C-alpha cells in the first residue's frame, strides 16, 4: 500500500493537497464559480445507482459513502469520501454506485459538460481530475487486496491507518461512520469489527475512549506491521 501511494504522489505532486484528503477549494466564491453547494442530512442520497452521471462531486464538509446493494440485500461500501475528496466520476453515462451522506455534510456538484479547455473561472478543478482518478484507482486496488487477502484484525489495522493518513490529527481518529458502515466496507460483521477493535485495544495498539466514535492510535508501528 505504501509503495502504491508513493508512486501516486510522485505523479500528482501539483495536487498534493488532494492526496492528503484536505480541502482544495480556497474559498466559497471560487468553488461556486463552476459548481453549486448542496447541504445533506444524515443518510440523504447524493445519487443512486443507475442515475444519469451528469455531475461529479467534491466533499466540502462531513463524509459521503459510495456503495452497491447486492442481489441478496447486503450492502458493500466501496469507499468513504472525506473533505477534499472528489467522487462520482464515471466513464459512462450512468452511476455504477449509490452515494449518500454519512452524517450532516456539504458537497459541491460540478456539471461534467462544463469541464473543457474553454471553461472560464474553473479554478483548480480541471487540474484535480487526473490525481482524483488515480487516487480512486489506488484506493480501489488497496481495497480489493484488503478484502481478498487480509484477516479481520489486519483489515481493521489497514482501515485505521488509511483514515489516519487522511485526517489532520493522525494519532486520534474521530470516526464519521458507524461500526456497521465499517463492517460493510471491510466485508465483516459488526460483531467481528467490535471484537477486532477490542483485541487491538487489549494489545495496547489502540485506545477506545468512552466516546465510541473516537479511536486513539497508541502504537502505529504495530498497526503498520499488520498492514504489510
CATH of the domain at 162: 1.10.10.10
C-alpha grid cell for residue 148?
Answer: 481478498
Partnered with residue 45 across adjacent β-strands are 100
Q: What is the count of structural domains for the chain?
A: 2
Do 17 and 113 fall within a single domain?
Answer: yes
Positions of the chain with pLDDT under 70: 1-33, 115-126, 212
SS (H, E, C) 176-222: CCCHHHHHHHHCCCHHHHHHHHHHHHHCCCEECCCCCCEEEECCHHH
pTM over 0.85: no
Expressed as residue numbers, the domain containing 204 is: 152-227
Predicted local distance difference test score (pLDDT) of residue 35: 82
Predicted local distance difference test score (pLDDT) of residue 166: 86
Predicted local distance difference test score (pLDDT) of residue 38: 95
Predicted local distance difference test score (pLDDT) of residue 126: 66
Predicted local distance difference test score (pLDDT) of residue 149: 81
Do 14 and 111 fall within a single domain?
Answer: yes
Do 103 and 131 fall within a single domain?
Answer: yes
Name the 3-class secondary structure at 71: coil
Predicted local distance difference test score (pLDDT) of residue 143: 83
State how far the Cα of 130 lies from the Cα of 42, in Å rounded to an integer. 30
State how far the Cα of 88 lies from the Cα of 195, in Å rounded to an integer. 33
Last residue of a domain, one of 145, 165, 195: 145
Do 114 and 46 fall within a single domain?
Answer: yes
Do 92 and 128 fall within a single domain?
Answer: yes
Do 122 and 185 fall within a single domain?
Answer: no
Q: What is the pLDDT of residues 165-191, one digit of tens each?
A: 888 777 899 999 999 999 999 999 999
Q: What is the pLDDT of residues 96-124, one digit of tens each?
A: 999 999 999 999 999 887 765 445 555 56
Helices (H) and strands (E) in the chain, counts: 8, 11
Amino acid at each position: 500500500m505504501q509503495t502504491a501511494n508513493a508512486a501516486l504522489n510522485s505523479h500528482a505532486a501539483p495536487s498534493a493537497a488532494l492526496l492528503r484528503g484536505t480541502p482544495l477549494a480556497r474559498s466559497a466564491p471560487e468553488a461556486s464559480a463552476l459548481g453549486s453547494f448542496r447541504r445533506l442530512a444524515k443518510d440523504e442520497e447524493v445519487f443512486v445507482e443507475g442515475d444519469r452521471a451528469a455531475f461529479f462531486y467534491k466533499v466540502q464538509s462531513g463524509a459521503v459513502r459510495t456503495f452497491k446493494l447486492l442481489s441478496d440485500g447486503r450492502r458493500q461500501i466501496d469507499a468513504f469520501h472525506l473533505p477534499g475528496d472528489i467522487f462520482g466520476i464515471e466513464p459512462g453515462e450512468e452511476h455504477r454506485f449509490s452515494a449518500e451522506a454519512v452524517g450532516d455534510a456539504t458537497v459541491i456538484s460540478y456539471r461534467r459538460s462544463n469541464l473543457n479547455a474553454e471553461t472560464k473561472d474553473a479554478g483548480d478543478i480541471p487540474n484535480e481530475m487526473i490525481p482524483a482518478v488515480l487516487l480512486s484507482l489506488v484506493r480501489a486496488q488497496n481495497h480489493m487486496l484488503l478484502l481478498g487477502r487480509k484477516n479481520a484484525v489486519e483489515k481493521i489495522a489497514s482501515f485505521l491507518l488509511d483514515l489516519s493518513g487522511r485526517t489532520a490529527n493522525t494519532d486520534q481518529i474521530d470516526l464519521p461512520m458507524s461500526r456497521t458502515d465499517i463492517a460493510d466496507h471491510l466485508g465483516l460483521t459488526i460483531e467481528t469489527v467490535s471484537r477486532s477493535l477490542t483485541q487491538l485495544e487489549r494489545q495496547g495498539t489502540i485506545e477506545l475512549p468512552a466516546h465510541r466514535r473516537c479511536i486513539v492510535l497508541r502504537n502505529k508501528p504495530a498497526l503498520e506491521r499488520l498492514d504489510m
